[in-house]
C-alpha cells in the first residue's frame, strides 16, 4: 500500500514522469488530451505530491512557522487560530512552537524553524530582548513580528495601536465621570505596555486630570499580579474609582481583589481590560475591554510573509491596526 508517486502515474499512462509532473502542475506546454488522461489517472490513484521531495527540489516547503509565548493563553490561542485560517487559504501548513515566555526557548524555536525550512515565520514575542530578532535578520528567513515591535529595529511588524487603546479605555472612564483612574500596567519591556501607558497619560492630560503616581504600576502580567496590585489599590486612600488593566487576565485578578473587599463592580470601582479574550463577555460582570483585531492582524501578517516569500518586497512593512472599545457592564 505504498504512496502513489509520479512514476506510478507515468507507467500507468505510458507518459514520462516529466510530462506527468508538468500536467499536474498546470504547465502550458502539455497536450490537451494528455493532460486529461493524466489528471484522471492521478485522481483515480489518489495521487498526492510528496511535499518533502518537492521542498527539497524547490527549497519551498509551503510551510509557515509560528512562534508564540503561550498557546494555552486564549489570547495567543486566538492568534494562532487566525493565523492558521489565513495560512490555510493559501495552502500553507503551520509549524507551531511555544516558548512558554522563555527567552532560551525562543532562540531554540527559531533554530527549529530554520531546520524545518519554513518559508516564513510569524513571531509573537512577549518579553524577549532584541537579540533573537537581530539573529533572524541575519538568517534571511522572511519573518514578521505580530503584536509587538521594536522601535529601533527595522523589521516588518503588524500590531494593534496600543496608544489608541490606552486612550480609548481611559477616555471612556473619564466620560463616565471618573477622575481617580488607576493604571495596572504591564512591564515596560513589553512594547504594548509602553503604548498603553502613553495612551493613558495622554487621555488624562487632555482632560486636565493630573496623573497620580500612586495609581500607576507597571509590573502585572498574570491574574496573580493583578490581584496583588488590585489589593493594594483598593486599600489605598483615596482609592481609585476606576481601574484600567493591562489585560483581561490581569483584570480577573483585579476584579477578585475588588470583590474581596466587599466592593461592587462597577458601582464602587469600574474596570476596563484589554484583549477581549473569549471569556471576557461571559463573566458575572461582563468586562468592558479593548478589542484587538486579531483576525485582520493575522491575515496581514500572512500576506506580508507571502509577499516576502515571493520576493515582492518593497521595504519593511509597519502596520498598526486600530483597536476598538467593547463596552460591557464593568464600567
**Residues in contact with DNA by the rule CB under 7 A:** 2-3, 5-7, 14-19, 21-22, 24-25, 28-35, 49-50, 53-54, 56-58
The residue (of 113 and 297) whose beta carbon lies closer to DNA is 113
Task: In angstroms, give the least distance from the CB of 231 to its own copies.
Answer: 14
Where b means 16+ CB within 10 Å and e means fewer, 255-293 reads bebbbeeeeebbeebbbbbbbbbeebeebebebbbbbbb
Q: What are the phi and psi torsion angles at 187 (to 5°)?
A: -60, 140
Select from DNA, its own copies, none the partner in contact with residue 279, using the beta carbon and a kind-dependent cut-off of 5 to 8 Å. its own copies
Contacts (CB under 8 A) with its own copies, residues 95-114: 95-98, 100, 111-112, 114
The residue (of 48 and 318) whose beta carbon lies closer to DNA is 48
Helix (H, G, I), strand (E, B) or coil at 53: helix
Residue 115 touching its own copies (CB under 8 A): yes
| Bridge partners, residue 145, by sequence | 123, 157
231-236-240-243 Cα dihedral, nearest 10 degrees: -30
CA–CA dist 42, 10 (Å, integer): 10
Select from its own copies, DNA, none the partner in contact with residue 77, using the beta carbon and a kind-dependent cut-off of 5 to 8 Å. its own copies
Select from DNA, its own copies, none the partner in contact with residue 29, using the beta carbon and a kind-dependent cut-off of 5 to 8 Å. DNA
Task: In angstroms, give the least distance from the CB of 120 to DNA.
Answer: 18
Are 48 and 60 spatial neighbours (Cβ–Cβ below 8 Å)? no
Residue 285 touching its own copies (CB under 8 A): yes
Secondary structure tally for the chain: helices H, strands E:
12, 12
Q: Binding mask 55-94 vs its own copies (x if CB under 8 A, - otherwise)?
A: xx----x-x--x---xxxxx-xxx-xx--xx-------xx
The residue (of 24 and 283) whose beta carbon lies closer to its own copies is 283
Q: Which residues make Cβ contacts (< 8 Å) with residue 310, sequence separation at least 6?
A: none
Q: At what angle do helices 32-45 and 6-13 cross, to 10 degrees?
A: 120
SS3 content of the chain, % helix, strand, coil (to 5): 45, 15, 35
Select from its own copies, DNA, none the partner in contact with residue 78, using the beta carbon and a kind-dependent cut-off of 5 to 8 Å. its own copies
Task: In angstroms, give the least distance from the CB of 176 to its own copies.
Answer: 21
Q: Binding mask 184-223 vs its own copies (x if CB under 8 A, - otherwise)?
A: ---------------------------------------x
The residue (of 50 and 281) whose beta carbon lies closer to DNA is 50
Are 4 and 47 spatial neighbours (Cβ–Cβ below 8 Å)? yes
Amino acid at each position: 500500500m505504498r504512496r502513489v508517486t509520479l512514476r506510478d502515474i507515468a507507467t500507468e499512462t505510458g507518459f514520462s514522469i516529466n510530462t506527468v509532473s508538468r500536467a499536474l502542475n498546470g504547465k502550458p506546454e502539455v497536450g490537451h488530451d494528455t493532460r486529461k488522461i493524466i489528471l484522471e489517472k492521478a485522481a483515480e490513484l489518489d495521487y498526492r505530491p510528496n511535499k518533502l521531495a518537492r521542498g527539497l527540489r524547490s527549497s519551498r516547503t509551503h510551510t509557515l512557522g509560528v512562534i508564540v509565548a503561550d498557546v494555552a493563553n486564549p489570547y495567543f490561542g486566538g492568534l494562532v487560530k487566525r493565523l492558521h485560517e489565513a495560512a490555510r487559504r493559501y495552502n500553507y501548513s503551520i509549524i507551531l512552537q511555544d516558548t512558554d515566555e522563555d527567552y532560551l526557548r525562543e532562540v531554540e524555536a527559531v533554530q527549529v524553524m530554520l531546520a524545518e525550512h519554513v518559508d516564513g515565520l510569524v513571531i509573537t514575542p512577549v518579553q524577549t530582548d532584541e537579540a533573537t530578532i537581530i539573529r533572524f535578520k541575519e538568517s534571511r528567513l522572511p519573518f514578521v513580528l505580530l503584536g509587538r515591535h521594536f522601535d529601533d529595529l527595522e523589521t516588518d511588524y503588524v500590531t494593534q495601536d496600543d496608544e489608541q487603546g490606552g486612550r480609548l479605555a481611559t477616555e471612556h472612564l473619564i466620560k463616565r465621570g471618573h477622575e481617580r483612574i488607576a493604571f495596572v500596567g504591564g512591564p515596560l519591556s513589553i512594547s504594548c505596555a509602553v503604548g498603553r501607558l502613553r495612551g493613558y497619560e495622554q487621555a488624562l492630560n487632555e482632560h486636565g486630570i493630573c496623573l497620580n503616581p500612586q495609581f500607576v504600576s507597571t509590573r502585572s502580567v498574570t491574574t496573580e499580579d493583578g490581584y496583588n496590585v488590585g489589593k493594594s489599590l483598593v486599600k489605598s486612600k483615596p482609592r481609585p474609582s476606576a481601574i484600567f488593566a493591562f489585560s483581561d487576565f490581569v483584570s480577573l485578578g483585579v476584579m477578585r481583589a475588588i470583590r474581596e473587599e466587599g466592593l461592587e463592580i462597577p458601582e464602587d470601582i469600574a474596570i476596563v481590560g484589554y484583549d477581549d479574550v473569549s471569556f471576557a463577555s461571559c463573566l458575572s460582570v461582563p468586562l468592558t475591554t479593548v478589542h484587538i483585531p486579531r483576525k485582520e492582524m493575522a491575515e496581514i501578517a500572512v500576506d506580508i510573509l507571502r509577499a516576502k516569500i515571493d520576493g515582492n518586497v518593497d521595504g519593511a512593512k509597519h502596520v498598526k491596526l486600530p483597536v476598538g472599545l467593547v463596552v460591557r457592564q464593568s464600567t
